[in-house]
Amino acid sequence: SALSSKTCCLTDLDLSINDLQDSGVKKLCVGLKNPHCTLEKLRLSKCKVTHEGVTALTEALKSNPSHLKELDLLENDLEETGLNVLHKTSLKSLGCSNRCAVLSAVLPSISNLRELDLSHNNLQDSGVEILCIGLKRSHYDFKTLLYVSLFTCKTLSLNPSHLRELHLSWNNIGDSGVKHLCAALEKVHCALETLK
């Protein structure tokens, strides 16, 4: 594959909204395993990837762990086993939809994670509470949280010290969310630089 070529210098690949399915992801993984692969960002949003494809991705990243840092799996049908294997990676950025309970359990074990994209999540109160537990247990040094909701505002009020950028667009955080956000911003150790 082109990703395996010694002359390939591709660092960003967006295959979103393609019917790749797991079979296409497995073919992509052949290139990702190659030590000549320089890919740093891979977007697979809406590609019909399941746990089988994520497992193949994880295996590829284990065999060549140094390059890929950003993985977008938004709006794919990932089951519990698909998300559980992500703890074996050294990802710095992850986009993931649904499966709050599994994501909460996996988050503390992805120690290099610096950016979490939770867009396209219909977080109900129960999902919010589950994710808060995972974020509290983790030792994250998050720099960016994208498309977050009220639960993020609650979590921020607990520990905003590392967050540099926060995107709140397309969220209905309401008065309660604004109060939690203000509480986070008032803390002396809050380092937020960009609020959108």
- With respect to residue 23, please indicate whether it lies within any of the assigned structural domains: yes
Torsion region of 170: left, alpha or beta (phi above 0 gives left; psi -120 to 50 gives alpha): left
CB 64, CB 93: distance < 8 Å: no
pLDDT tier for residue 17 given thresholds of 50, 70 and 90: very high
Give the CATH number for residue 25.
3.80.10.10
> Residue 140: CA atoms inside 13 Å, Cβ hemisphere, count?
32
Question: For 53-91, how does the pLDDT look when each residue is reduced to its tens digit (9 = 90+)?
Answer: 988 998 888 887 768 888 888 888 776 566 666 766 777
Strand order across the 93-95 sheet: 12-14, 41-43, 70-72, 93-95, 115-117, 144-146, 165-166, 194-195
**3-class DSSP string for 136-190:** HHCCCCCCEEECCCHHHHHHHCCCCCCCCEECCCCCCCHHHHHHHHHHHHHCCCC
- With respect to residue 117, please indicate whether it lies within any of the assigned structural domains: no
What is the model's pLDDT at position 3? 76
Handedness of CA 153, 97, 75, 111 (dihedral sign): positive
- 29 is in which domain, residue-wise? 1-97
Question: For 104-143, how does the pLDDT look when each residue is reduced to its tens digit (9 = 90+)?
Answer: 667 667 767 676 666 666 655 566 666 666 666 665 555 5
* 98 pLDDT above the threshold of 90: no
Higher pLDDT, residue 190 or 30: 30
- With respect to residue 102, please indicate whether it lies within any of the assigned structural domains: no
- With respect to residue 92, please indicate whether it lies within any of the assigned structural domains: yes
* 186 pLDDT above the threshold of 70: yes
Instruction: For residues 111 and 129, give the distance between their C-alpha atoms in angstroms, rounded to a whole number.
Output: 21
What is the model's pLDDT at position 27? 94
- With respect to residue 166, please indicate whether it lies within any of the assigned structural domains: no
Q: Could you tell me the two tokens for 55?
A: 């497992």
For the chain, what is the domain count?
1
- With respect to residue 86, please indicate whether it lies within any of the assigned structural domains: yes
* 39 pLDDT above the threshold of 80: yes
- With respect to residue 52, please indicate whether it lies within any of the assigned structural domains: yes
